[in-house]
Copies of this chain bind each other. A is one copy, B any other.
Amino acid sequence: MVQTPKNIAIIGSGLVGSLLAIYLRKIGHKVTVFDRRPDIRTIKFSGRSINLAMSNRGWRSLNAVGIGEKIKDIAIPLDKRAMHVNDKPVYFQKYGKEGEAIWSISRGILNKRMIDLAEEAGTVFRFDEKVWDVNLPEAKIYTGETEKGKWTEYQFDIIFGCDGAFSRVRHKMQRRSRFDYSQDFIDVGYKELTIPANEDGTHKLDKNSFHIWPRGEFMLIAMPNIDGSFTCTLFLPFEGKVSFESLTTVDAAKAFFKEYFPNVRKEIENLTKDFFQNPTSAMVTMKCYPWTYWNKVALVGDSAHAIVPFYGQGMNAGFEDIFILNKLMKKYGDDWDAIFSEYQKERKPNADAIAELSYRNFVEMSRKTADPKFLLQKKIEKHFAALHPEKWIPVYSRVTFSDRPYAEALAIGDMQEAIMKQVMQIPNIEEKWDSKEVEEMILELL
């Protein structure tokens, strides 16, 4: 169905806000994007940056609006994990089947390009303009220099809150009765570090790998950038024996990198400098419901469902919100009540599912990677999946390389887990993990 053009405000010029602008402009709506921060194209980027991993859902959403190819040239495909375990050579784990990969992109570079594309499509951006209040039933927004100063009122037909985990728009919805909301921080923080390029501009580590140094309670990861550098992220408990709290001196930090990451010892000066220069950030799971207010206001992306980054799906989930919204706009035309109502009903269980999967990955990475039982289970699953690739698609592949709902991936994952729980009960499973008996047991239980 064709939609009557509306006057639409998007709060937030991040990845989700600018992609939504491109979609809405394509349909013919008038789109104004507000952002309290300056235009990131004009300043040194200093935003959040766990480097992003674009996977299937992200690409599908970009391709459906015709901009996939314009993003691909700033992305680097990663088809495997590179595991850095001390006293062992680096070993590689393929992510999926031949041709399957996740794509490393710098958040800053991607965001700039998305804003360019949205602007080319006719979006009006109002940077440096702070939204302080929203009148939900009347779709009005109020901006101004300061919260207590003079405000300007804008009237729109529809408002989209794409203003991230600490959304002002959601904040306004949250003070209403019967609005469910939660924010849960994990006790691990992160800090961004850099491994610069070689002098000739090449990468110092394998370029097409997602590099991981798993260390039980903490972890270092690295993803390549197109300029030859790697963006590393150190995940470390806030408090405890080895923690951000305990690493307060340059000597302590150097000793930490030397002891736990000996294969990047040449980078220690640089890592240590970054360690004390860059901020330590917290990670949060935010859930809420409802996501919409009548046919006037809707939350999209992190403002509706912020998740911890351990599945690399934050941006992908936000982009998928837009893909689904677009499907519903085609289906219901001018019936925005139906669009918003079905949008939140369809997306909420999937947002909850990817939040759960992301949190579980955090627990798994931080607590289970040292557990031999857990590693054996993973080995059995992999062995069985190799024998019966159609019968056992790992949850990771369902999330990363498929379009099927996250909630389905979670449910099937739980079912697989229940089967494996029984398999692990087999006496002497350590010895017969690759036996016909185990294979047949799994086949029977499936």
| Cβ-based interface call for A245 (8 A) | no
| Cβ-based interface call for A154 (8 A) | no
CB distance from A389 to the nearest CB of B (A): 41
A178 CB contact (under 8 Å) in B148, B166, B177, B185: B185
Contact across chains for A282 and B177 when beta carbons are under 8 A apart: yes
CB distance from A429 to the nearest CB of B (A): 29
CB distance from A194 to the nearest CB of B (A): 23
Contact across chains for A183 and B181 when beta carbons are under 8 A apart: yes
| Residues A155-191 near B (CB distance < 8 A) | 166, 174-175, 177-185
- Contacting residues, chain B, for A182 (C-beta < 8 A): 181-184
Taking the full assembly, how many copies of this chain does it contain?
A: 2
- Contacting residues, chain B, for A282 (C-beta < 8 A): 177-178
- Contacting residues, chain B, for A148 (C-beta < 8 A): 148
A285's closest neighbor in chain B, by CB? B180
A185's closest neighbor in chain B, by CB? B178
| Residues A342-386 near B (CB distance < 8 A) | none
Contact across chains for A184 and B180 when beta carbons are under 8 A apart: yes
CB distance from A286 to the nearest CB of B (A): 9
A147's closest neighbor in chain B, by CB? B148
CB distance from A181 to the nearest CB of B (A): 5
- Contacting residues, chain B, for A166 (C-beta < 8 A): 175
A171's closest neighbor in chain B, by CB? B175
- Contacting residues, chain B, for A177 (C-beta < 8 A): 185, 282
A179 CB contact (under 8 Å) in B179, B180, B183: B183
Most B CB contacts (10 A, CB to CB) among A175, A177, A238, A282 go to A177
A182's closest neighbor in chain B, by CB? B182
CB-CB contacts of A238-255 with B at 8 A, as 1s and 0s? 100000000000000000
CB distance from A139 to the nearest CB of B (A): 21
A149's closest neighbor in chain B, by CB? B148
CA distance A240 to B177 in the complex (A): 19
CA distance A175 to B171 in the complex (A): 10
CA distance A183 to B182 in the complex (A): 6
A185 CB contact (under 8 Å) in B179, B183, B238: B179
CA distance A185 to B178 in the complex (A): 5
- Contacting residues, chain B, for A184 (C-beta < 8 A): 180, 182
Contact across chains for A181 and B178 when beta carbons are under 8 A apart: no
CB distance from A416 to the nearest CB of B (A): 27
CB-CB contacts of A256-284 with B at 8 A, as 1s and 0s? 00000000000000000000000000100
A-B contact pairs, 9 of them (CB 8 A): A166-B175, A177-B185, A178-B185, A178-B282, A180-B183, A181-B181, A181-B183, A182-B183, A182-B184
Which A-B residue pairs are the 9 nearest by beta carbons?
Answer: A182-B182, A178-B185, A177-B282, A181-B183, A178-B282, A180-B184, A180-B185, A148-B148, A180-B183
